[in-house]
């Protein structure tokens, strides 16, 4: 599973606990979770948003991570990450990208969309993961 950027708050916070709880509820607790942007927390606190500039700078590191781990399924956490991956993953990995993304857990926690997050995780499990491990 690929999130946007490193967390800048206290770990684990309420949103992170919600996310990991959902993954566990649907049997995805062994999923590999990583970030699209791999910059320092100091930079991320200044940025506050997923920006293409930083995603582009870090993308080669994500591709290398994918090459090493060889995931059968790639799941995006958040629409922006899904859009970025859909447009930038090399062809040999694009077919592994789940067509459904998971609502970002910070959004779900902040705006009381826990049910939407759970529904998204269930949909991803049912349609993309099946007997594969999500990464």
CATH code that applies to domain 2-129? 3.40.470.10
How far is residue 78's CA from residue 100's CA, in Å, rounded to a whole number? 10
**33-65: pLDDT as tens digits:** 999 988 766 665 555 566 788 889 889 999 999
How far is residue 85's CA from residue 62's CA, in Å, rounded to a whole number? 10
Q: What are the structural domain ranges in the chain?
A: 2-129
Write the CA distances from 52 to 16, 30, 35, 43, 85, integer angstroms.
24, 29, 13, 14, 11
Write the CA distances from 90 to 49, 59, 72, 99, integer angstroms.
24, 11, 15, 16
pTM: 0.88
């Amino acid at each position: 599973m690929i999130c946007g950027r490193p967390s800048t708050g206290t770990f684990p916070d309420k949103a992170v606990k919600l996310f990991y709880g959902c993954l566990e509820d649907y049997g995805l607790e062994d999923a590999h979770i990583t970030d699209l942007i791999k910059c320092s927390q100091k930079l991320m606190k200044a940025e506050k948003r997923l920006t293409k500039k930083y995603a582009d700078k870090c993308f080669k590191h994500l591709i290398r991570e994918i090459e090493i781990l060889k995931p059968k399924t790639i799941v995006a956490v958040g629409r922006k990450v899904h859009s970025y991956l859909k447009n930038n993953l090399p062809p040999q990995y694009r077919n592994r990208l789940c067509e459904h993304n998971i609502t970002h857990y910070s959004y779900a926690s902040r705006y009381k969309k826990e049910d939407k997050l759970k529904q998204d995780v269930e949909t991803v499990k049912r349609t993309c993961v099946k007997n594969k491990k999500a990464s």
